[in-house]
A and B are shown apart, each in its own frame.
Chain A
């Protein structure tokens, strides 16, 4: 368990790839996509190696840790490592990065320029992976920010429609969020004299005074809530998704949103337990509003991508609800929900991107009907992903939602009846989710005579999508594959919270 080279290599590899593409000349346009595939494949292999060599018995402690001096004057260190909470997210990121690279080989979006596109994807990968590995508050912040610039470029240059506006809203909003979060981090650091996330989580943070905890928690949660996005901070999401190129949407929904909820479990819950206990019921309320609001708003959309974007608000609401219960079941549910949403929504955006490639639109007003017969395989995948997303038991989307409800039945907090009301409202949200997805299938998949066949799913699309399809089923029937990682780690987190619970 001392292979310290593993995580740095995972980070440095895409960084090198990005730099190479930056300095390489125009001739790199031809092999840029292949470099992307090579780097991401190697990264995926390394991640698999990490999964294999990860000690399940010790899933609660950090593995592959690197702890180097960075800015000792400010007690900031370059600390990275993974445990059962972060490893699944690292794996998800590597996988979606690989899928995106494969998909990009033949499908660099307009206006081309593969070199820049792939370079930005690789840079994005560095930021995403780093966020899940960071064990230092400032390092976490840095990686959190590294993600923004590439995503802005991806939306603003390779997007469609009102891409500039969407990209600007995205960056302004999330930068504002991270600034707020940074202030929160600074309060923690000033109060405790440490930025080491492991030490902070292990009781140091809990020693902070109640007022300081509350201030820090509100600020950090505020920043993370924008990213998640928690209602009412969600409005950047639909615009960003609608404008973003396919792989941009996939990574945005599949990975970026998880950075918010991951930060809550990793930092806020164990480091600021007293404040978290106070805030949790409010978080639950906003989560449930998000579930219902996301579902209702989703039903009102006339664009495929916007439907899925609002559905993400609802799904992340379930993740937030799980966290807000502060129970072992609830937080495990949240972590599972993160992974499941990443896989399923990633697949959904891929499929919708495929539809857009073929029909030139995602608007209900212009989309041809009868996809089930004009492109049966694509139609099947749309149906499959939609059914998975609406939480069908037996597929991955079910467990996060169901166990969030179980957690809400018995939260680790005294507000029992309040949480049970939330439980019922959230369960109603599950039906509403079925309503808008069936509307999509009825509008796009079914319908009278289709206007002629479309190209069905191509080989490279199958290759890029099949891991997501497989995992949707595998995690649906064997959720234990994730829970055996997260469960011990969550128990460690809950030890820190234990003292704060009434």
Chain B
């Protein structure tokens, strides 16, 4: 067993130990909870010492001569970079949770689930084996379900938890089948080899990429699977920060990056990705403008920002996608934790109840402002550089330099710039409604959160401020995250900003800021509000297209089972007992029973005919 596997297992062990000791001692549970990701972070840092990544660290895990346990890991620059981010955010979130969940009776199980989630996310990041990847992928989904449902006394939380699990699971049908196809078509479960083999065969590449894309859209909350994410805000704020902003939702993007050569061999899939990304990017940003809940604004913003990453992948720039993934992870985790601090202090997440908090919560104010500036993409914060890199990638594609058609590049470029405006609009509105305006009455006792909560904010503000500097050296990040041995040719675009895109986005931000100022004056803007607030009507569509038909089928299957197949069996039973009375009863003509038996026979016959025809 080698270091990468230990890195994955330590938080899992922490989860187990935390559950065991948590009941007896809360401080012990907290200590274990923080120790898990921290220890993983130490290992991740030690792995960094082994770069440059001309050869990724490939390890077969618990190998054996026979069918080895699927725990092979591949650690290259991409994996280790994302792993560092995951461990950092997870550690800070665990620290923050000590304060945030102080009065939560179920803290031990809560922190254990967060630890288990961290392990699962790390498994996805370092997985070198397809099945290992699937394990991490699904366990993440489970933890997400458990943590959204943390306050399961509330109907809202129960509902949101089930919704999150099932919607992502629908996408995972595609993901699982995609993995099965990859294994079947390439005869290997090792990701680098499978990806390489699939990339060489356009048919396999298209089918597998398309299917895996479904799972990616589910996890990364992209259209039409985006609807679960805003509801997931029913979970505690630290969970939103870690799982529903920084890591799990980014895992979809990460997996595409991991499989990138295969996706590049399927331009059709990339085009679909671009269209979906544009829809999600602009649509979610527009919805964010009309939200009345601080966390829901951020949730829709996450959908929109993830779409930037998906778009970058679609136009051929993995580097830009990963760049934005990392910088978004820092500033969005910061924003959610800051929002959590506000909610913790005020006791409400509704924008109507907020306002004028600037003086009462100076640290939270300062850090959240930094986070929002990064989100909008203001120089020189991380978000500015990473968003610029996406725009540059789109511009390159528009010039016809990438595998996708030029119109795809143009589409992404235009939508991304318009979205910059809308992003500025909702960010400014959020900032104004939270921090400015009349001060809350002192009677409410609004105060700054304790250090255990604000120190993580400060810690996240540092990379939010400085991370963008990576882009100043055009080759720094691309060299760092490139994996020569596993991925022979991945299109690289310089990440340094260019004048045209800078000019465009500065104008976009200014326009958006002015609009945001206007929007914040009205508590409820009327921009097609019902439609937008309803998540572009997807909820209604789901209801009519999936939920209602499903319940209809359930109702009729249950009836069918009781009255048709069940009766047929009862008929067999009574026939076998040979009770004369029953026989007479039958002869008297129990039409329903005849019909039911005949119906079953008919279905069986139809199946047989269908199969015969099909084969």
Question: Chain A residues with Cβ under 8 A from B550's Cβ?
Answer: 296, 299, 435
Interface residue ranges of B120-143 to A (CB < 8 Å): 131, 134-135, 137-139, 142
* Stretch in B35-43, B316-324, B451-459, B565-573 touching the partner: B565-573
Please state if B166 and A281 are interface contacts (CB–CB under 8 Å).
no
Q: A168-B573, A169-B570, A446-B158 are in contact. Are A424 and B177 (CB under 8 A)?
A: yes
Contact B66 A448 (CB under 8 A): no
Asked if A446 contacts B607 (CB within 8 A), the reply is no
Name the B residues within 8 Å of A90 (CB-CB): none
Please determine whether A418 and B615 come into contact, CB atoms closer than 8 angstroms: yes
Contact, CB under 8 Å: B604 / A232: yes
| Residue contact B158 to A169, C-beta cutoff 8 Å | no
| Chain B residue with Cβ nearest A383 | B146
- Residues of A with C-beta under 8 A to B155: 448
Specify which of A168, A173, A370, A405 is in contact with B176 (CB 8 Å cutoff): A405
Interface residues of A in 414-440 (CB under 8 A from B): 414-415, 418, 421, 423-424, 427-428, 430-431, 434-435, 438-439
Please, which residue of chain B has its CB at the minimum distance from the CB of A446?
A: B152
Residue A293, interface by CB 8 Å? yes
Chain B residues with CB below 8 A from A487, complex form: 66-67
Interface hit among B86-94, B180-188, B231-239, B525-533: B180-188
Q: Of B365-373, B460-468, B503-511, B552-560, which binds chain A?
A: B552-560
Residues of B with C-beta under 8 A to A55: none
Is B610 interfacial (CB-CB < 8 Å)? yes
Contacts of A480 in B (CB 8 A): 64, 66-69
Indicate if the CB atoms of B180 and A405 lie closer than 8 Å: yes
Are B166 and A435 closer than 8 Å at their CB atoms?
Answer: yes
**Distance of A381 from chain B, by nearest CB (Å):** 13
User: Known contacts A300-B557, A423-B180; is A235 also within 8 Å of B565 by CB?
Assistant: yes
Q: In the assembly, what is the distance between CA of A287 and CA of B550, in Å?
A: 20
- Chain A: CB-nearest residue to B553: A296
Quick one: which of B152, B173, B181, B572 has the most chain A CB within 10 A? B152
**Bound-complex Cα distance A481 to B489 (A):** 40
Flag whether B502 is at the interface (Cβ < 8 A).
Answer: no
Complex CA distance for A301 and B559, rounded to whole angstroms = 10
Is B576 on the interface with A (CB-CB < 8 A)?
yes
Using C-beta atoms within 8 Å of the partner chain, give the interface range for chain A: 35 or more
Looking across the interface, which residue of chain A has its beta carbon closest to that of B181? A409
Known A299-B554, A480-B69: A173·B615 in contact at CB below 8 Å: no
- A236 interfacial contact with B, CB 8 Å: yes
What A residues does B181 contact at CB under 8 A?
A: 409
Q: Nearest CB to that of A285 among chain B residues?
A: B611
Within 8 A of B (CB), among A221-277: 232, 234-236
Give the distance in Å from the alpha carbon of A176 to the alpha carbon of B611 in the complex: 27
Report B-chain residues with C-beta under 8 Å of the C-beta of A285.
Answer: 607, 610-611
A393 located at the interface, meaning its Cβ lies under 8 Å from any Cβ of chain B in the complex? yes
Cβ-defined contact, B66 with A418, below 8 A: no
Tell me, rounded to whole Å, the shortest Cβ–Cβ distance linking B103 to chain A. 16
Is A392 an interface residue when CB atoms closer than 8 A count as contact? yes
B485 at the interface (CB under 8 A from A): no
Given contacts A285-B610, A434-B166, A483-B66, contact A387 B180 (CB under 8 A): no
B566 touches A235 (CB 8 A): yes
**A442 B66 Cβ-Cβ under 8 A:** no
Q: How many residues of B contact A (CB 8 A)?
A: 58
The answer to whether the Cβ of B561 comes within 8 Å of any Cβ in the partner chain is yes
CB-based contact B162/A442 at 8 Å:
yes
Would you call B184 and A410 a contact (CB within 8 A)?
A: yes
* B558 lies within 8 A of A297 (CB): yes
Q: Is A69 an interface residue (CB 8 A)?
A: no
Contact with B along A168-186 (1 / 0, CB 8 A): 1100110010000000000
Shortest Cβ distance from A422 into chain B, in angstroms?
Answer: 10
Which of chain B's residues 183-225 have a Cβ closer than 8 Å to chain A? 183-184
Q: What chain B residues lie within 8 Å of A479 (beta carbons)?
A: 67, 69
Q: Which residue of A is nearest B576, CB measured?
A: A172
Q: Is the CB of A448 within 8 A of B176?
A: no
One of B166, B170, B572, B607 near A173 (C-beta < 8 A): B572
In Å, the complex CA distance between A301 and B181 comes to 34
B402 within 8 A of A: no
A173-B569 contact in complex given A409-B180, A431-B170, C-beta closer than 8 Å: yes
B153 at the interface (CB under 8 A from A): yes
Assembled-state Cα–Cα distance A478/B611 (Å):
37
A427 to B149, CA, bound (A): 26
Residues of chain A lying within 8 A (CB to CB) of residue B608: 282
Q: A286 in the interface, Cβ–Cβ < 8 Å?
A: yes
Whether A173 lies near B180 (C-beta < 8 A) is: no
Do A447 and B135 contact each other (CB < 8 Å), given the known contacts A297-B557, A423-B180?
A: no
Q: Is A477 an interface residue (CB 8 A)?
A: yes
Q: When chains A and B are docked, how far (Å) is the Cα of A479 from the Cα of B70?
A: 10
Contact B573 A173 (CB under 8 A): yes
Q: Are A478 and B69 in contact (CB under 8 A)?
A: yes
Whether A297 and B169, one on each chain, are in contact in the complex, defined by CB atoms closer than 8 angstroms, is: no
B-contact bits for A460-492, CB 8 A (1 contact / 0 none): 000000000000000001111001100100000
Flag whether A157 is at the interface (Cβ < 8 A): no
**Chain B hits for A414, CB < 8 A:** 615
Whether B591 is near chain A, meaning CB under 8 Å from some CB there, is: no
**Complex interface: chain A residues within 8 A of B568 (CB):** 235
Q: Given A300-B554, A418-B615, A424-B177, does the pair A289, B569 have CB atoms closer than 8 Å?
A: no
Does B158 lie within 8 Å of A442, measured CB to CB? yes
Q: Taking the complex as formed, is A372 at the interface, i.e. its CB lies under 8 A from any CB of chain B?
A: yes
A289 and B606 alpha carbons, distance in the complex (Å): 12
Q: Does B443 contact A (CB under 8 A)?
A: no
B577 on the interface (CB 8 Å rule)?
Answer: yes
Asked if B172 CB lies within 8 Å of chain A CBs, one says: yes
Tell me which residues from 599 to 614 in chain B have a Cβ below 8 Å from any Cβ of chain A.
600, 603-604, 607-608, 610-611, 614
Contact check: which of A176, A387, A410 meets B572 at CB < 8 Å?
A: A176
Of B131, B153, B176, B557, the contact of A430 (CB 8 Å cutoff): B176
B158/A393 in contact, CB under 8 A = no
- How far, in whole Å, are A254 and B475 apart by their CA atoms in the complex? 59
Q: List 9 A-B contacts (CB under 8 A).
A: A173-B572, A235-B566, A284-B611, A393-B139, A406-B180, A409-B181, A434-B169, A438-B161, A477-B69
Closest 9 CB pairs of A and B: A300-B558, A446-B152, A409-B184, A393-B135, A415-B615, A300-B554, A235-B569, A393-B138, A296-B557
A interface residue numbers (CB < 8 A to B): 168-169, 172-173, 176, 232, 234-236, 281-282, 284-286, 289, 293, 296-297, 299-301, 370, 372, 387, 392-394, 398, 402, 405-406, 409-410, 414-415, 418, 421, 423-424, 427-428, 430-431, 434-435, 438-439, 442, 445-449, 477-480, 483-484, 487
Given contacts A168-B577, A234-B565, A387-B142, list 18 more A-B pairs with CB under 8 A.
A169-B569, A232-B565, A235-B561, A284-B611, A297-B557, A299-B550, A300-B558, A370-B153, A372-B152, A392-B138, A393-B138, A402-B134, A430-B169, A447-B153, A478-B62, A478-B69, A480-B64, A487-B66
Binding site for A on B (CB under 8 A): 62, 64, 66-69, 131, 134-135, 137-139, 142, 145, 149, 152-153, 155, 158, 161-162, 165-166, 169-170, 172-173, 176-177, 180-181, 183-184, 550, 553-555, 557-558, 561, 565-566, 568-570, 572-573, 576-577, 600, 603-604, 607-608, 610-611, 614-615
